[in-house]
Amino acid sequence: MSKKIMVTESTMPPFAEYANEIAELWQSKWLTNNGAKTQELTQQLQDYLGIDHLSLVTNGHMALELALMALGVQDGEVITTPFTFASTTHAIVRNGLTPVFADIDPETFTLDPTKVEALITPQTRAIMPVHIYGNVCDVEAFERLGKKYHLKVIYDGAHSFGCQYKGKSLASYGDAVTYSFHATKLFNTIEGGAVVVRDDATKTRVEQMKNFGLADGVPVEVGINGKLNEFSAAMGICNLRHLDAAIAARQTRVRAYRKQLGAIPGVQVNPVQAAAEPNAAYFPVIFHDVDGRTRDRVFDRLAEEGINARKYFSPLTSDSPGIASRFTVQITPIAADYANRVLTLPLYPDLAISDLLRITAIIREVCGVKTQSVANG
Ligand SMILES: *Cc1c(COP(=O)(O)O)cnc(C)c1O
C-alpha cells in the first residue's frame, strides 16, 4: 500500500534552518507584539510582493475582518462570490454586514463584474472578490465599479500570494488585499496572514485594530487581538527563502496535469490567463458530463487508491445553514453548477510525478479516455 496522498502538504524549511532562526528568541525573550522577526518578515514580504503598507496578522480570516474594519465598511451590503472558502463570507457577516452573492465567470471561476453591477444598491458598501485558486479577477472592471459607485474593493487574496498581472504584483490592485499564510497555503507561517492597504493612515488603523485598538498603549477605538507571533514570523522568513523553488516545482506539476488532462472532452482545467503569472497554488478541474456524476466517480476512485482530492469549493458558502437561514441569498447558477462538478487535485512541490500520473490515469479511465504506458502505481 503506497503512502496516502493528500490534496496538499505543508512546506517546511530544513529543521536546522528554523532552529537557527528562532535561537535569538531565547536571548530577546520577545515572543510577540511586533518583534524583530515580525518586522523583518514584514519588510521581506513588502519587497517580495512589490508593495508597501503590509501588516502581518494571526491568520487569513483575521486579515479579512481587519480589512473591513480598517476601511470602515459597516452597516450595509458587500457583494461577493459564493464560490470560495467559508471565511470570505463569514468575515462579512461577522462585521455586521449583509453578504450579497453574485455569480462567477465560467472560465476563471472568479466573481463576474457584470453580475456584480446588477446587484449594486444604495446599501452597497464594498465588493469582495476572491482571486480563487490564484486566478486573476477582472481587476480593471472592479476598479471601474469601485470608482463609479464609491465602493471599496477588497480582494480575498488567500490563494494569490506571489501572483503577477500585467507585470505588476496582484497585491497592488484594490483598496485592500488579504493573504492567508495557513499551513496548507502556498506560503505558510504555520498560522498567519497579512493585510495590504494603500496608505499610511489605513495601515496605522490596521496596526491599531489588530492590537486592541491601542495607540501608544491607550485604547482609542474598539479593536481585537490579531498579532502574529515571532515563531510564526521566523517560519515565514525561512519558507520565503525556498518559495521560488517551491513554485517552480509546482509549475512543473501543473504542466504535467495540463498535458494529461487538457484535451479530454468535457474536462475543463484551470485556465491559463493572458498577462497573468500564476503561482501554481491549486489545480481545479471541472467535469462537464451529462449525468453530473463524473466528479463524484473520480473522487471515489481516487479515494480507493488513498488519494485525497478535495471538492473545493462545494457547497457554496451561500448554501451553508449559518448563511442561508439568516439572509435571502441570491441564485448563482454557474457557481451552483460548478460546485457540483469541481475537484481540486493534489498539488505540492514534493508530489511525485509517478503519483501525479496515477491520478491522471484514473481520471482518464473514468472519463473513458485511453492512457498509454503510464508508470505503474
Ligand atoms: C484559507 C482561506 C481563508 C482563511 O485563511 P486562514 O489563514 O485559514 O484563516 C480565507 N479565504 C480563502 C479563500 C481561503 O482559502
| Domain 15-237 and domain 241-367 have a common topology | no
Q: 353-368, pLDDT tens digit by residue? A: 999 999 999 999 999 9
Higher local confidence (pLDDT), 370 or 63: 63
Annotated domain spans of the chain: 15-237, 241-367
Q: Which three cell numbers, joined as nine digits, stand for 291?
A: 449525468
pTM above 0.75, yes or no: yes
H or E stretch at 251: helix 243-261
Say how far apart CA 137 and CA 139 lie, in whole Å.
5
User: What distance in angstroms lies between residue 180's CA and the mean position of ligand 1's atoms?
Assistant: 5
Stretch 181-191: mean pLDDT, rounded? 98
Q: 67-79, pLDDT tens digit by residue? A: 999 999 999 999 9
- Percent of the chain scored above 90 by pLDDT? 94
Task: Give Cβ neighbours of residue 71 (< 8 Å, ≥ 6 apart).
Answer: 126, 152, 154, 175, 176, 197, 202
Q: Please give the mean pLDDT across all residues of the chain.
A: 96
For ligand 1, atom 10, which residue shows the shortest CA distance? 87
The pLDDT score that the predictor gives to residue 373 is 57
Say how far apart CA 285 and CA 273 lie, in whole Å.
16
Residue 73, CA distances (Å) to 64, 128, 144, 239, 341 in order? 11, 11, 19, 33, 34
The pLDDT score that the predictor gives to residue 3 is 80
- The pLDDT-based confidence of 376 (bands split at 50, 70, 90) is very low
The pLDDT score that the predictor gives to residue 377 is 40
What CATH number does domain 241-367 carry, 3.30.70.990, 3.40.605.10, 1.10.10.60, 3.90.1150.10? 3.90.1150.10
User: What distance in angstroms lies between residue 77's CA and the mean position of ligand 1's atoms?
Assistant: 21
User: What distance in angstroms lies between residue 352's CA and the mean position of ligand 1's atoms?
Assistant: 26
CATH 3.40.50.150 fits 15-237, yes or no: no
Q: 113-163, pLDDT tens digit by residue? A: 999 999 999 999 999 999 999 999 999 999 999 999 999 999 999 999 999
Ligand 1 surroundings by CB, under 6 angstroms: 59-61, 84-85, 87-88, 130, 156, 158-159, 180, 182, 193
Q: 231-249, pLDDT tens digit by residue? A: 999 999 999 999 999 999 9
The pLDDT score that the predictor gives to residue 2 is 67
Q: Beta-carbon neighbour count of residue 372 at 10 Å?
A: 5
The pLDDT score that the predictor gives to residue 1 is 52
